[in-house]
Structure 1
Amino acid sequence: MAKQKAIEDLHGNWEQSYHDLPKLLNAMSGFLNGFVVEKQTRPLYNQQGEMVHHYVQFHRVFWTFKPCIDGFKYCKPIVQLDGTFLYGKYKGTLLEAVAQDGNNKIFPIAFAIVEGETADAWFLFLHYLKIHVCPQDDLCLISDRHESMKAAYARQGSGWTPDNSVHVFCIRHIAQNLMRHFKNTERKKLIINMAYGMTEPRFNYYYNTLTSEPEIEGVIEWLNTIPKEQWTLAWDGGRRWGHMTTNLAEAINSILKKTRNLSIFAIIMSTYKRCNASFIQRGKKVNAKLRANQIYTEIIKRAMTETFTVKLHDKWCDYGKFQKLHMPCSHVVAECKHVHHDYKSYIDQVYTLQYISNVYNELFGELPNESYWSNCKEPQIIPNPEKIINKKGRPKSSRIRTEMDMVEPGQPKRCSLYRNVGHSKKKCPYCQGSSSHQA
């Protein structure tokens, strides 16, 4: 409660932030060219059941920026989805859609604040994402294997179909589900190795190793319920571009961790400021330092100790990296040198300097001081009183610990202050006032 009051002093009243939301969104629509917002509210009724005029109750909001929409056209054709809790006074969930540019930089493309990770909330997010940000075909949607997400993707009207996209799963969540059912760390490692194997022989090697174990029938039956195209690199047809997890979206969650403590007004403003600053910074770096011919300048110098079959015409190599990551591996570069071909012609255009530069070409525009914003004539928005978090008492953690939170066995213990191995926080020799330091 003290934290909420301190945040309120810095960023304004929690309820007032909902009142000011229409004014903020109208200002962004007016001053930021191409800004997209989709807002959903509910009618407000009094205790007698009569509708209250000039007031509505907040339900959901989706927003994105024109530079994110335009830049996504030059990113890898993948979209990672994830949701994370809000920590403020009112319950809610922040949904994000994240892509990656050819320089392996995280590229956020859309946000939404909803009531939770329900099938209806994900359906709204996917629907608006397809309409406003991702109208192109042949996209790969990467998410966790949650029933609400699968239902939203399959629901008619979402815009995402097997004809224009493919929906694949994060291997970390599949491994988590496996541990929940069978609780076997060694089998979990084998399945992860199966998923990361870039070729069918590599996949089959780990599969045969797994099937040779005793009492494996239940694990195999469980795995067979998930199509191999949705969780393995060997069978994905190159649609995943090597991305096996939702780590990009998880990284955005980490970046916005402090932001998630703020009011809804401050959260939307923070996404604008952070995305704007990121575009300016990365645009300067791309124009100043990045060179497309540096991607594989050192690979030719490596000694070739293994023999793989390479088919340049089909863009295929036994090793698998060529067709999965859409860039030449060392074997392809060596073959190109042997037949006097330019290996750079086999690098996908997403990795070229021109494409990476195009990602950050657009400008966000400047949002002036609030005193220049025009008054909004829309009904005043109020928060849902049922969404208030922890009215009294010390907040209790609601995080559900899963297998992904467990530390791998054999990892050395580290000091939580300085991350050094060999001592704990209590006995840290670098901490002022500790007995060892005084000695």
Structure 2
Amino acid sequence: MVSQDHQQLSSAVICESILQMVTADPTISVSVLIAHIRSRYTYTTTYRKTWIAKQKAIERIYGNWEESYKELPRWILTFKHYLPGTVTDIEVGPFIEDGQRVPSKAVFHRLFWSFQPCIRGFDHCKPVVSVDGTWLYGKYRGTLLMAIAQDGNGHTLPIAYAIVEGETSYGWFFFLSRLQMFVTPQPNLCLISDRHESIKSAVRRVNSNWHHVFCVRHISQNFMRTFKNGLMKDLVTNMGYAMTQPSITYFRRQISDWSQDAVKWLDDIPKEQWLQAYDEGRRWGHMTTNLSECMNNVLKGTRNLPISSLVQATYYRVTAKFEERGTQAQAMMTSGLIYSNKIIENLNKERAMSNSHEVVIHNRAHSIFTVKELVRPPSGRPVGTFKVDLDKRWCDCGEFQALHYPCSHVIAACSFIHHDYMMYVSSKYTLQCIFDVYKEEFPAIPLQSYWPEYNGIELCHNPAMRRDPKGRPQSTRIHTEMDQREKNTHPKRCGLCRNEGHSKNKCPYRPDAPNRN
């Protein structure tokens, strides 16, 4: 097999070869396409040429990027016509040509959209919203902002999207103000984000009644950048996850013994914004923005598509998830189950642990108990004695308040008085509530020939957002200090012969190796 590229195997030829594959799966990786070309033409193309060919195939399938901006207003009109209740808000700027403003044209700046089933489904989710942004990889730069919720079964639910120029204070204010106005007007919601100054500035401008908290992983990342100590970074993470104030004091003392400056750095962050023991259960156990990052991975393959196709992808993907999860929840309800499998699994673990607890004091008048552990818990901490107050839904371990379902100490107290501990499980974990999230179905959108005519202004791309045509954009997430990697103890092997001691560039078995016989 010839390993080098061939000049006549151009990106146009490759585009024709991979067109069907990209049509079936636009998220297909470039490495898979290179393998396809190698098997078909017995030539190994370069990554760059294959990437350019894929972009040409995407343009053949979905239209070019400039035409996609022109199609966007008609898609918005179609959403509003066939999906009643869909919220959209678009910001445009003047189109200047030869120094004069053209009234019939406008330049795209920002877009916010949310579907009604998602808005109504959020009423039955946990009152927690995670927000994050991710880059677009297409011909024009931009950032996709998303707000993500979670149902009682641990499934993520995207409730709002926006395409803005970047993670600027104006872009975040545009997104968060529309999010509060149209999607999440409920009071006392918990908003989880990183500590980006643009987000903090936008939250202050919105002047909402959100309980704004920070992602613990981002705090530990910032700590690592400042103090360069991996062991202390782990203590900061443990400090954020701790469910009791004595545990926080323990971790804080260890950090203080190492550096007073580090403790001062942590004390400058309001406790209620990053310490779980001080948030009064508003986080529901969500300490990071992983909900948003999960959706970033789901939409990664669509972020290199033209803008109209990206907006369409959010509709089709969330529609499929609603159908799948709604059917699943309904089937589980039909079988007689009341709670989700995930919460039942967690409760079974807590109930097994409660068998090794003993109730030593019981105040019948106020439903207050003192529960003593007889066996060291799986977490490895020392055995202890905990106060349980059923009326106030309180346990000294902190899990009862933070997770909104009974811990092992609460289950032991309920068993002592022959009380059903399931009454202390939040209704958000019931299958009925989970089904209510997905019960409103998405209407189908008919063929384009049935769509209503659009007679508004012509939307144009923003030339200032044009990406540098040279090379290709970076589509792999840049790893930082918050990415914990285990050290690879295995020696590196050659990518061709799989032997140790050399790389594929110096492999003696390469077809073009100088010393090969």
TM-score (norm 2): 0.77
Q: Contact 1:33 / 1:364 at 8 angstroms: preserved in 2? A: no
What is the aligned partner in structure 1 of residue 287 from structure 2? 244
Partner secondary structure for residue 222 of structure 1: helix
Matched, 1:194 2:244: no
What does residue 71 of structure 2 align with?
A: 20
Match of 1:176 among 214, 221, 225: 221
**What displacement does 1:352 show?**
1.4
Higher relative contact order (CA 8 A, sep 6+): 1
Whole-Å separation in 2 of the counterparts to 1:393 and 1:298? 53
Q: Deviations over 1:129-148 (max 9, x none)?
A: 01111001010000000100
> Is residue 402 of structure 1 aligned with residue 480 of structure 2?
yes
Q: Select 1:5's aligned residue among 45, 53, 56.
A: 56
The alpha carbon displacement at 1:79 in A equals 0.4
Look up the match of 2:362: none
Q: Does 1:73 align with 2:133?
A: no
Aligned counterpart for 2:84 among listed residues 33, 55, 77: 33
Does 1:210 find its partner at 2:280? no
SS at match of 2:482: helix
Separation of aligned partners in 2, 1:269 and 1:242: 33
Q: Which runs of structure 2 are paired with 1:32-431 in the superposition (5 Å)?
A: 32-48=83-99, 50-155=100-205, 158-160=206-208, 164-213=209-258, 216-289=259-332, 291-293=337-339, 295=344, 296-297=347-348, 299-302=350-353, 303-304=355-356, 305=375, 306=383, 307-395=385-473, 401-405=479-483, 407-408=485-486, 410-412=487-489, 425-426=495-496, 428=498
**332-341 or 253-262: bigger deviation:** 332-341
1:284-326: per-residue Cα shift (whole Å, max 9, x none)? Answer: 1111126335623564344323542211111111111000111
Rg comparison, structure with higher value: 2
- Measured in 2, the distance between the counterparts of 1:424 and 1:70 equals 54
- Looking at structure 2, the residues matched to 373 and 188 of structure 1 have their Cα atoms a distance apart, in angstroms, of 55
- The structural deviation recorded for 1:411 is 4.9
Contact between 1:127 and 1:159, CA under 8 Å: does it hold in 2? Answer: no
- CA distance in 2: counterparts of 1:356 and 1:399, whole angstroms: 33
Query: Percent of aligned positions with the same letter in both sequences?
Result: 47
Root-mean-square deviation over aligned CA pairs:
2.2
- The answer as to whether partners of 1:130 and 1:159 remain within 8 angstroms in 2 is no
| Alpha carbons 2:148, 2:157 under 8 Å: kept | yes
Would the alpha carbon gap of residues 275 and 413 (structure 1) be closer, same or farther in structure 2, given more than 3 Å must change?
Answer: farther
> Would the alpha carbon gap of residues 328 and 86 (structure 1) be closer, same or farther in structure 2, given more than 3 Å must change?
same
Q: Secondary structure of 1:63's match?
A: strand
Mapped to 2, the partners of 1:195 and 1:267 lie a distance apart of: 36
1:194·1:202 contact (CA, 8 Å) conserved in 2?
A: yes
Query: In 2 relative to 1, CA 229–14 (structure 1 residues): closer, same or farther, beyond 3 Å?
Result: same
TM, length-normalised to structure 1: 0.90
SS state of the match for residue 234, structure 2?
helix
**How far is 1:273 from its partner?**
0.3
| 2:252–2:263 Cα contact (<8 Å) kept | no
Cα distance change, pair 83–329 in 1 and its aligned pair in 2 (3 A):
same
Cα distance in 2 between the residues matched to 1:159 and 1:136 = 14
Measured after TM superposition, the shift of residue 396 of structure 1 is 5.9
Structure 2 SS opposite 1:292 = coil
Q: Secondary structure at the match of 1:33?
A: coil
Mark the runs of 5 or more structure 1 residues left unpaired by the alignment: 415-421
CA shift digits 1:68-110 (9 cap, x unpaired): 0000001000000000000011001000000100111111100
Separation in structure 2 between the aligned mates of residue 138 and residue 398 of structure 1, nearest angstrom:
36
**Structure 1 Cα separation of the partners of residues 90 and 274 of structure 2:** 34
Q: CA–CA distance in 1 between the matches of 2:139 and 2:261?
A: 45
| Mean Cα deviation higher: 66-75 or 39-48 | 39-48
1:405, CA displacement in angstroms? 4.1
Kindly provide the amino acid, as one letter, of the partner of residue 22 in structure 1.
P
What is the aligned length?
417
